[in-house]
């Protein structure tokens, strides 16, 4: 891992604007990162509503329950609102969730996260989009059936440190409000699991065979199982969720339009207001949230640092999909959005990159999501 990191760092230092390193998969490795603006500081844990907790009380004659109230653990239970038996007897709501209308729901929304309604969009890019690469197609209709909350900014160095106790960032001198980077996919997934644990929520990325400490530079695992977008804890977004969020209802190269140029040309009227990339970042990440957010209130979805997604990086199927979670297996994990070192062609909503899960880069960080509003 260390060797990989060194290689990546060297590549970043040596390539400069627009340059790339050809990866083993033939895709240009957009090896670098960039940074973003500041902060919402606080930990996302939502502290939570206590829920109704109480037992449903006994309904008198033990052989008779009111209509619509099954007997759970021997007690007639209104499963529409009982958080220990929500919707059915064997469904207990986790941590800070309550049961409303037979469904476990989040209590107070986590600070620093923005709501994103369920919906449908055209995922990928049309064949004539400027800067397009083959893995962005075929463009197809994707429906997301679950509302989400997504962190408004990349996870900052302060946020990582306060939860994980270290700072793996190679640009630590950038400051507390700069995005954490230098994290492998395993470490990004472990961070979201730690967030979930801090809120009493289940781990959404079940990691096995792990050694080392996340953020230490040597953490790695042998296997990860994704609990899927129905998981109630914090997690990495799927590629579909990430792109849906990045587009925020738009269909061009970026949420501010499509850049007419593909490299680091300056000025760039499309990218300069919204993204740190090779044309304006000075070969370094920047504090999060300094650039104009998209219509969902998300900063630095494009540029600053790449963001790990839950999916394996694989080929898109043709035909419409609902709640896709990517390829069933693979060797590289998806990352999205481009970074401080990348050219304009990589700083697009549809652009994809794949990296080995052990890879670390000063241009690669993360942004968690959580299902439900
Ligand atoms: Ca980013
Ligand atoms: Ca790409």
Say how many Å lie between the CA of residue 250 and the centre of ligand 1: 17
Question: Tell me: the pLDDT tens digits for 84-105?
Answer: 898 899 998 877 677 766 877 7
> Domain check: are 217 and 291 in the same one?
yes
45 assigned to some structural domain: no
CA 155 to chain centre: 10
Q: Could you tell me the residue range of the domain that residue 146 belongs to?
A: 112-371
Task: Give the number of whichever ligand sits closest to the CA of residue 345.
Answer: 2
> Domain check: are 197 and 276 in the same one?
yes
> Domain check: are 176 and 282 in the same one?
yes
| Domain final position from 73, 106, 139 | 106
> Domain check: are 265 and 345 in the same one?
yes
Question: Tell me: the pLDDT tens digits for 301-316?
Answer: 999 999 999 999 999 9
Task: Give the number of whichever ligand sits closest to the CA of residue 34.
Answer: 1
345 assigned to some structural domain: yes
Q: Residues 215, 217, 218, CA angle at the centre, nearest 5°? A: 110
Say how many Å lie between the CA of residue 210 and the centre of ligand 2: 29
Interstrand relation of 321-322 and 140-144 (parallel, antiparallel or unpaired): parallel
Of 47 and 366, the structure prediction assigns the larger pLDDT to: 366
Task: Give the number of whichever ligand sits closest to the CA of residue 353.
Answer: 2
**How many structural domains compose the chain?**
2
Q: Give the confidence band of 273 by pLDDT, cuts at 50, 70, 90.
A: very high
131 assigned to some structural domain: yes
Say how many Å lie between the CA of residue 126 and the centre of ligand 1: 22
Q: Are 136 and 349 in contact (CB under 8 A)?
A: no
23 assigned to some structural domain: no
Say how many Å lie between the CA of residue 303 and the centre of ligand 1: 5
Question: Tell me: the pLDDT tens digits for 155-211?
Answer: 999 999 999 999 999 999 999 999 999 999 999 999 999 999 998 889 999 999 999
Say how many Å lie between the CA of residue 85 and the centre of ligand 1: 40
> Domain check: are 88 and 142 in the same one?
no
Task: Give the number of whichever ligand sits closest to the CA of residue 135.
Answer: 2
Interstrand relation of 234-235 and 369-371 (parallel, antiparallel or unpaired): antiparallel
Beta bridge partner(s), residue 114: 150
225 assigned to some structural domain: yes
Say how many Å lie between the CA of residue 324 and the centre of ligand 2: 19
Say how many Å lie between the CA of residue 179 and the centre of ligand 1: 9
> Domain check: are 155 and 276 in the same one?
yes
Q: Are 152 and 40 in contact (CB under 8 A)?
A: yes
1 assigned to some structural domain: no
Interstrand relation of 364-365 and 306-312 (parallel, antiparallel or unpaired): parallel
pTM for this prediction: 0.76
Say how many Å lie between the CA of residue 272 and the centre of ligand 2: 20
> Domain check: are 135 and 70 in the same one?
no
pLDDT at 61: 52
């Amino acid at each position: 891992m260390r060797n990989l990191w060194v290689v990546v760092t060297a590549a970043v230092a040596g390539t400069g604007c627009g340059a790339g390193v050809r990866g083993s998969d033939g895709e240009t490795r957009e090896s670098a990162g960039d940074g973003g603006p500041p902060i919402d500081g606080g930990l996302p844990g939502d502290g939570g509503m206590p829920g109704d907790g109480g037992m449903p009380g006994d309904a008198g004659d033990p052989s008779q329950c009111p209509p619509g109230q099954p007997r759970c653990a021997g007690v007639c239970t209104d499963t529409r609102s009982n958080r220990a038996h929500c919707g059915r007897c064997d469904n207990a709501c986790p941590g800070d969730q309550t049961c409303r209308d037979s469904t476990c729901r989040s209590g107070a929304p986590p600070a620093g996260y923005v709501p994103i309604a369920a919906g449908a969009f055209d995922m990928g890019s049309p064949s004539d989009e400027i800067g397009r690469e083959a893995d962005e197609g075929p463009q197809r209709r994707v429906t997301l059936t679950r509302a989400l909350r997504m962190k408004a900014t990349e996870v900052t160095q302060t946020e990582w440190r306060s939860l994980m106790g270290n700072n793996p960032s190679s640009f630590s001198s950038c400051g507390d409000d700069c995005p954490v980077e230098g994290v492998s996919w395993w470490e990004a997934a472990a961070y979201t699991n730690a967030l979930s644990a801090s809120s009493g929520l289940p781990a959404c990325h079940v990691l096995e065979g792990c050694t080392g400490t996340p953020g230490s530079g040597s953490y790695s695992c042998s296997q990860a199982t994704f609990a899927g977008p129905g998981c109630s804890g914090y997690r990495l977004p799927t590629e579909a969720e990430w792109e849906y969020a990045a587009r925020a209802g738009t269909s061009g190269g970026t949420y501010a339009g499509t850049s007419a140029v593909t490299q680091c040309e300056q000025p760039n009227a499309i990218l300069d207001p919204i993204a740190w990339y090779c044309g304006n970042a000075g070969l370094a990440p920047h504090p999060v949230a300094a650039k104009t957010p998209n219509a969902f209130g998300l900063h630095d979805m494009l540029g600053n640092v790449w963001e790990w997604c839950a999916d394996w990086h694989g080929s898109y199927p043709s035909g419409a999909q609902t709640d896709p979670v990517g390829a069933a297996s693979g060797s590289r994990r998806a990352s999205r959005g481009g970074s401080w070192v990348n050219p304009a062609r990589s700083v697009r909503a549809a652009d994809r990159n794949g990296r080995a899960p052990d890879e670390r880069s000063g241009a690669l960080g993360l942004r968690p999501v959580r299902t439900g509003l």
